Chain A
Amino acid sequence: MTAIPAPIRSQKKFESSLPFWQRLTTNRNWIASWFMLPAAAFLILFLAYPLGLGVWMSFTNVRIGREGVFIGLENYEWLRDDSIFWLSVFNTLLYTLVASAIKFALGLYLALLLNRHMPFKAMIRAAVLIPFIVPTVLSAIAFWWIYDSQFSIISWSLRQMGLITQNINFLGDSNWARASVIIANIWRGVPFVAITLLAGLQTVSPSLYEAATLDGATNWQRFRFITYPLLTPIIAVVMTFSVLFTFTDFQLIWALTRGGPVNATHLMATLSYQRGILSGRLGEGAAIATAMIPFLVAAIMISWFGMQRRKWQQGENND
């Protein structure tokens, strides 16, 4: 009688007897890679490649119609001493911070209002989205008329009321121009913040508010201790997007002011376009665009850590 050898596992490493080509078509890991390939190809072609090319161009002196050569950090050294570049950085930060803060405040307020029971709720909610769905350039042109130095309806109204004697030069004065583009951006951005936060508010169970009411919470305390903390993850997401969109804004500025007056509203994106495309100095334009990356990464990191804390609060994977 021969003893039947017990199967010995984990002593010998498993080696597939299949030939290499067959393994590529049957092994689960390989199959997964095949399926991911089309999506990966798209991402590489349309996202990674242009990004990489942009970064590479920022290290060359390429111009439109002329091959460039690698010049190291020379573009960045130029920018370091360029006061217009630093003005555009300041403008971008100011534009992003002020517009995002106001968009958040207004959006949250609007979301809380829209979360109440009221007649024609669905229609009002849909109406709130209108500024968001109008193409940016169209709304910019509308604002352009509103801010027009001669025909501005705001100036006209204020004059009729006797508050001012001559038209406000909305887009011709540095500070007025900055305020004007920020207001236009807020008008466009609030619906996105409001509707997203509204979606977040609707995930909060009404019984939590009832429980808090019975626990003795006032309206403000219900907001402070229930609504706000439960909304933080969605606030983190929506404000990240809002900051990213605002920081990289181009259309609105270009349609309203083209960066003027005297570069007072030039953002990094518009300056990059002006230097890179209009002046043809692609390398320098690419360097300005690349300089935006650290700011954007910082914004994403902030929200990422914000959401991480939330996960811990929820007690997932943390026993």
Chain B
Amino acid sequence: MASVKIQDVRKSFGGFEVLHGVTVPIEDGEFVVLVGPSGCGKSTLLRMLAGLENITSGTISIGERVVNDVQPKERDIAMVFQNYALYPHMTVAQNMGFSLKLRKENSAEIDKLVNRAADILGLRNLLDRYPRQLSGGQRQRVAMGRAIVRDPQVFLFDEPLSNLDAKLRVAMRTEIKELHQRLKTTTVYVTHDQIEAMTMADKIVVMHDGIVEQMGAPLELYDHPDNRFVAGFIGSPAMNFLEGSLVGGETPYVETANGSKLPLAASRTGLDGKPVVYGIRPEHLEFADDGVEAEVIVVEPTGSETQIVARIGKQDLIAVIRDRRAVKPGDRVKLRPVAKAAHVFDKETGKRLIN
């Protein structure tokens, strides 16, 4: 196990810079999730960490050692690929033991380590099968087994669950997290799915267009997003954004173009009249007589809660309510944002002003 330091790392492909100076400190034993939309550079960063891509500038160190010029096999890392990258002509046992065989371990030792990993992952009775004979979840587990067998300093996961169906994805998510709690190996996990990030991470790194937008514990990012991108990216259904201008005073609020007043718990001086974006999470909208008038467009009950798409002026927003209220499309309702849960972002820069 080891800590990992990514220090001001940049990457250019043929003069086109895709990573603009990324710094991510990773503690020993930490589970870090790199999350962001496709093309944000998260996979590139992971591949640089693995040694599959060159580092244009900056340093990456594993433990105390700078690994910029260290061969992938010398870095003592193991990677789980999106498509699993299992060797189709080898059995499960041979797949898991391949790195040990290359390391010239004796076969008794290989058997021992492979069996240990197979026990951890429940693969014991599949050891003689070929990848073609396995289901998606089993292949995923073999790919993890291949990583575990080596007992590396760092595990790297590159969108490992995106080829699985929804139900299996949830199950494997739990399995990977449990595995980490058991092995306590430093893990870097790349995904575009913010739910995976929220549920698994000790620390989330939100990336966008080659920079780190924000990093921190899942709930910290959820409660205190630094900017509009993070606010919109983390959380499902996504945060509602309403444009308006800030009005200060004793009871500060944001006034939208059609005159709706969106309440705030506190404001800061010197922001009066500033064009802002008001952000409120769907679960922080409640029915109240003194709320903002809205027209119900769609009602989507999911059982435990109901999602309501409502329109204020020309802007749609989503409310999630837990009580079973008889609303139907076309109804006019009054929704009130919970003032202390509201976020205010600068309309131009997207930076957080108040929350």
Chain A interface residues (CB < 8 Å from chain B): 205, 207-208, 210-217, 221, 225-226, 229-230, 313-316, 318-319
A214 touches B130 (CB 8 A): no
B322 lies within 8 A of chain A by Cβ = no
A207 touches B78 (CB 8 A): no
| Top 9 A-B pairs, shortest CB-CB distance | A216-B73, A315-B130, A215-B99, A211-B85, A207-B85, A315-B132, A315-B133, A229-B89, A216-B102
A214 touches B72 (CB 8 A): yes
B129 lies within 8 A of chain A by Cβ = yes
**Residues of B in contact with A, size category:** 20 to 34
| Chain A neighbourhood of B129, CB < 8 A | 315
The residue of chain B having its C-beta at the shortest distance from the C-beta of A228 within the complex is B89
The residue of chain B having its C-beta at the shortest distance from the C-beta of A216 within the complex is B73
CA distance A121 to B153 in the complex (A): 39
CA distance A313 to B91 in the complex (A): 9
B52 lies within 8 A of chain A by Cβ = yes
**Given that A205-B83, A207-B83, A210-B81 are known contacts, is A221 also in contact with B130, CB under 8 Å in the complex?**
no
CA distance A226 to B330 in the complex (A): 62
| Chain B neighbourhood of A221, CB < 8 A | 102
| Chain A neighbourhood of B82, CB < 8 A | 207
Q: Within B7-52, which residues are at the interface with A (CB < 8 Å)?
A: 50-52
The residue of chain B having its C-beta at the shortest distance from the C-beta of A221 within the complex is B102
Q: Give B79 Cβ to nearest chain A Cβ, in Å.
A: 5
Q: Within B77-120, which residues are at the interface with A (CB < 8 Å)?
A: 77-79, 81-83, 85, 87-89, 98-99, 102-103
CA distance A214 to B81 in the complex (A): 11
Q: Give B214 Cβ to nearest chain A Cβ, in Å.
A: 30
A214 touches B103 (CB 8 A): no
Given A205-B85, A215-B98, A314-B88, 9 other A-B residues pairs in contact with their CB atoms under 8 A:
A205-B83, A207-B83, A210-B50, A213-B73, A214-B52, A216-B99, A216-B102, A225-B87, A315-B131
B81 touches A313 (CB 8 A): no
B103 touches A216 (CB 8 A): yes
CA distance A205 to B78 in the complex (A): 18
The residue of chain A having its C-beta at the shortest distance from the C-beta of B47 within the complex is A210
| Chain A neighbourhood of B77, CB < 8 A | 214
B130 touches A208 (CB 8 A): no
Q: Give B239 Cβ to nearest chain A Cβ, in Å.
A: 36
A217 touches B102 (CB 8 A): yes
The residue of chain A having its C-beta at the shortest distance from the C-beta of B102 within the complex is A216
A313 touches B130 (CB 8 A): yes
| Chain B neighbourhood of A215, CB < 8 A | 73, 98-99, 102, 146, 150
A-B contact pairs, 14 of them (CB 8 A): A205-B85, A207-B85, A210-B50, A210-B52, A211-B79, A211-B87, A211-B146, A214-B52, A214-B72, A225-B87, A313-B89, A315-B129, A315-B132, A315-B133
A319 touches B133 (CB 8 A): yes
CA distance A230 to B52 in the complex (A): 22
The residue of chain B having its C-beta at the shortest distance from the C-beta of A226 within the complex is B87
| Chain B neighbourhood of A319, CB < 8 A | 133
The residue of chain B having its C-beta at the shortest distance from the C-beta of A319 within the complex is B133
B81 touches A211 (CB 8 A): yes
CA distance A210 to B50 in the complex (A): 10
- Of A205, A210, A214, which is in contact with the most chain B CB atoms at under 10 Å from its CB? A214
A208 touches B73 (CB 8 A): no
Q: Within B121-147, which residues are at the interface with A (CB < 8 Å)?
A: 129-133, 146
A314 touches B79 (CB 8 A): no
The residue of chain B having its C-beta at the shortest distance from the C-beta of A313 within the complex is B89
B89 touches A230 (CB 8 A): yes
The residue of chain B having its C-beta at the shortest distance from the C-beta of A316 within the complex is B132
Q: Give B153 Cβ to nearest chain A Cβ, in Å.
A: 13
CA distance A221 to B101 in the complex (A): 11
Q: Give B89 Cβ to nearest chain A Cβ, in Å.
A: 4
Find B79's partner among A205, A214, A226, A229 (CB 8 Å cutoff): A214
| Chain A neighbourhood of B131, CB < 8 A | 315
CA distance A208 to B89 in the complex (A): 11
| Chain B neighbourhood of A214, CB < 8 A | 50-52, 72-73, 77-79, 99
| Chain A neighbourhood of B83, CB < 8 A | 205, 207
B72 touches A225 (CB 8 A): no
B85 touches A208 (CB 8 A): yes
A230 touches B133 (CB 8 A): no
Q: Give A101 Cβ to nearest chain B Cβ, in Å.
A: 24
| Chain B neighbourhood of A313, CB < 8 A | 88-89, 130
CA distance A213 to B216 in the complex (A): 32
| Chain B neighbourhood of A226, CB < 8 A | 87
CA distance A315 to B51 in the complex (A): 33
The residue of chain B having its C-beta at the shortest distance from the C-beta of A213 within the complex is B72
The residue of chain B having its C-beta at the shortest distance from the C-beta of A217 within the complex is B102
Q: Give B32 Cβ to nearest chain A Cβ, in Å.
A: 19
**Given that A210-B52, A214-B79, A215-B73 are known contacts, is A314 also in contact with B87, CB under 8 Å in the complex?**
no
B87 touches A208 (CB 8 A): yes
| Chain A neighbourhood of B99, CB < 8 A | 214-216
| Chain A neighbourhood of B88, CB < 8 A | 230, 313-314
**Given that A313-B89, A314-B130, A315-B129 are known contacts, is A207 also in contact with B102, CB under 8 Å in the complex?**
no
| Chain B neighbourhood of A315, CB < 8 A | 129-133
Q: Give A131 Cβ to nearest chain B Cβ, in Å.
A: 32
| Chain A neighbourhood of B52, CB < 8 A | 210, 213-214
Q: Give B105 Cβ to nearest chain A Cβ, in Å.
A: 11
CA distance A207 to B78 in the complex (A): 13
| Chain A neighbourhood of B150, CB < 8 A | 215
CA distance A210 to B48 in the complex (A): 12
The residue of chain A having its C-beta at the shortest distance from the C-beta of B94 within the complex is A225
CA distance A212 to B87 in the complex (A): 9
CA distance A213 to B47 in the complex (A): 12
| Chain B neighbourhood of A216, CB < 8 A | 73, 99, 102-103
